[in-house]
Chains A and B, each alone.
Chain A
C-alpha cells in the first residue's frame, strides 16, 4: 500500500501541494485527476523520490521513503516503473535497446533471456515489428507503447503513469487505456495514473481522486466521483466555464 501523509511542496512562492493525504491500495488502478498545473505530476514524482517534499511523508508498504538516499532509495525504486508524459525514451537507442536497457544495466541476465523478455513485452504492446526503429521514427502513440514496454520489462510492482494519453487522438487514447487494463489483469501491478482524460479515464480506474489547489478534494470509485455533488468536481467533470474553478 502507498500512503501519502500531509505532503507539501512549494516552488519559490508557488505552493503546488498544500497537504495531500491519500491511500492507494495494492493492485488498484488509482487515478488522480485535476486541472493542468494542479500538481498531479509533482505528486507522482514524490512517490518515487524524484522530488523531495518540503513537509509530509510517503509510505511504501510501511517504509517511509522521503528521507531515503542512495542505495536505500534505489532499492525502493527497483519496485517501480514509470511511464513519462513524453515517453522519455533514449534518443540514441533503438526501441529494442530502450526496452532492454533496464535489464542490461540492472540485472545479470544473459542476452538470450533479455531478448526473450523484451520480445514478450514488445508483442504485448503491439510493437514486435518496430524493435529496430529509433524513437524519432515512431508516432506519439507508438512512443508511449514503447515506453510502456520499457516500464514493464523489469516487472515492477507499482507502475506510475504521467498523463499516458495526452496529445493522442480518441482512438489511440482508448487503445492505450485498454492496453493498460489488459496488462494490469495479466501482471497485477498497482497503477497510479495522472490524467485529465474525462470521461475515458472512468472506465479504466478502480479509484479516482481529484487534486485541486494543492489538496485532494474528492476520493471515491469512478461512479462516486461522477455522481459527486461537490461543485468543484462537477465543474471539472462537465468542463463548464462557470463555477468555483477560475478559468485563467
Chain B
C-alpha cells in the first residue's frame, strides 16, 4: 500500500515537472515568435515540409472521409426520408469536426513525428549545442519556424481536407446514391454559417500550435541515444493526438 502511494506520488511529481517544463518551453517559443529576426529560410523549409508535402495525404484522406460520411449519412437519413439533408450533414461534420481534427491527426503522424525525430537527433548528436556555441538561440532557430509554419499550414490543409471531403461526399451521395445535386449544395450552403467556418479555422489553428509545441518539446529534450529519440517520437505523436481530441472537446463546448 505504502509502495503504491509512493509510486503515485512519484508519477504525479514527474507529470507536474514535465507540464511545467512544457509550459515554459511554449512561453519562450511564443515570446520569440514576436521578437525579430524571423528565420526566413528555416520558415520556408518548414512550410514546405509541413504544408506542401502533406498535401497529397490530406487530399486522399479528405476524399475518403467525405465519401464514408456521405454513405453513413445517407443510410441514416433514408430511414426518415431526409436524404435531401445529406449535404448539410456532410458539410457541417467536415467543417466543424472532421476536417480540423482528422487533418491535424494526419499531419501530426506524418510531419510531427519526423520533426521530433529530426530535433531529437540534433539533440543527441550535439547539433543543438553547436547552435548555442555559435551564439544562436536554438528555440528561435529551430522551434519558432515550426510553430509559425504549423499555425499557417494547419488551417489551409484543413480547408483542403474539407473541400475535397465535400466533393467526395458529392461523388457518393449524388453520383452513386442518387441524391439531387441541387439539394446537396443548396441545403449545405443554407445550413453552413460563417461561424461554422471560423470555428473550424480556429480549431485547426490551435491544433497546429499543439502539434508544433508537443513535437518540438519532445525532440528538444530527447536523450539516451537512438532509443531515446524513438521514445520521444512515439510520445510526441501519442500526446499530440490525445491533446488534439481533448482540446477539440473543450473548444466545441465553448464555440457551439
A48 proximal to B (CB < 8 A): yes
Contact with A along B116-141 (1 / 0, CB 8 A): 00000110011101101111100001
Q: Using A101-B134, A106-B134 as known contacts, say yes or no to A88 and B129 having CB atoms under 8 A apart.
A: yes
Q: Which residue of A lies closest to B124 (CB)?
A: A86
Q: Is A55's beta carbon under 8 Å from chain B?
A: no
A184 at interface, CB cutoff 8 A = no
Q: Is A15 interfacial (CB-CB < 8 Å)?
A: no
A84 on interface, CB distance cutoff 8 Å: yes
A88 touches B125 (CB 8 A): yes
In the bound complex, what is the Cα–Cα distance between A80 and B135 (angstroms)? 9
Those of A58-94 within 8 Å (CB) of chain B: 74-75, 77-78, 80-82, 84-86, 88-91
CB–CB A90/B132 < 8 A: no
Min CB–CB distance B147 → chain A (angstroms): 19
Q: Does A102 contact B (CB under 8 A)?
A: yes
Chain B nearest Cβ from A44, distance in angstroms:
11
A240 at the B interface (CB under 8 A):
no
Q: Whole-angstrom distance from the CB of A111 to the nearest CB of chain B?
A: 13
Main secondary structure, interface of B, reads helix
Q: Are A106 and B136 in contact (CB under 8 A)?
A: yes
Any chain B CB within 8 A of the CB of A50?
yes
Best-surrounded residue of A78, A86, A105 (most CB of chain B within 10 A): A105
Asked if B121 contacts A91 (CB within 8 A), the reply is yes
> In the complex, what's the smallest C-beta–C-beta distance from A189 to chain B, in angstroms?
14
A-side contacts of B126, CB under 8 Å = 84-86, 88
Q: How far is the CA of A146 from the CA of B127 in the complex (A)?
A: 14
Number of interface residues of B (CB under 8 A): 13
Cβ < 8 Å to B, chain A residues 33-60: 45, 48-50
Question: What residues of chain A lie closer than 8 Å to B121, measured between beta carbons?
Answer: 91
Contact assessment for B132 and A88 in the assembled complex, using a CB-CB cutoff below 8 Å: no
- Which chain B residues in 136-158 approach chain A with CB under 8 Å? 136, 141
CA of A88 to CA of B136 in the docked complex: distance in angstroms? 15
Q: Is the CB of B136 within 8 A of A82?
A: no
Chain A: which residue is nearest B129 at the CB level? A50
B127 adjacent to A77 (CB under 8 Å): no
What residues of chain B lie closer than 8 Å to A74, measured between beta carbons?
135
Contact of A50 among B125, B127, B132, B141 (CB under 8 A): B132
Cβ A77 vs Cβ B133 within 8 A: yes
Q: Check A90–B136 contact: CB distance below 8 A.
A: no
**Shortest CB–CB separation between residue B203 and chain A, in angstroms?**
32
Query: B220-248, CB under 8 A of A: which get 1 and which 0?
Result: 00000000000000000000000000000
Q: Report the bound CA distance from A195 to B134 in whole Å.
A: 23
User: B134 and A88: CB pair below 8 A?
Assistant: no
The answer to whether A77 and B132 touch across the interface, beta carbons within 8 angstroms, is yes
Nearest A residue to B45 by beta-carbon distance?
A: A92
Residue pair A50, B134 in contact (C-beta under 8 Å): no
Where the two chains meet, the residues of A that have a C-beta atom closer than 8 Å to any C-beta of B are: 45, 48-50, 74-75, 77-78, 80-82, 84-86, 88-91, 101-102, 105-106, 154
- 9 smallest A-B Cβ distances: which pairs? A74-B135, A88-B130, A88-B126, A77-B135, A84-B126, A82-B133, A102-B134, A88-B127, A78-B135
Taking Cβ atoms with an 8 Å cutoff, the residues of B that contact A are: 121-122, 125-127, 129-130, 132-136, 141
12 further A-B pairs in the complex, CB-CB below 8 A; given A74-B135, A78-B135, A88-B127: A45-B129, A48-B133, A49-B132, A75-B135, A82-B130, A85-B126, A88-B129, A89-B127, A90-B122, A91-B121, A105-B141, A106-B136
Question: Can you list 13 pairs linking A and B with CB atoms under 8 Å apart?
Answer: A45-B129, A50-B129, A78-B135, A81-B133, A84-B130, A85-B126, A86-B126, A88-B126, A88-B130, A90-B130, A101-B134, A102-B134, A105-B134
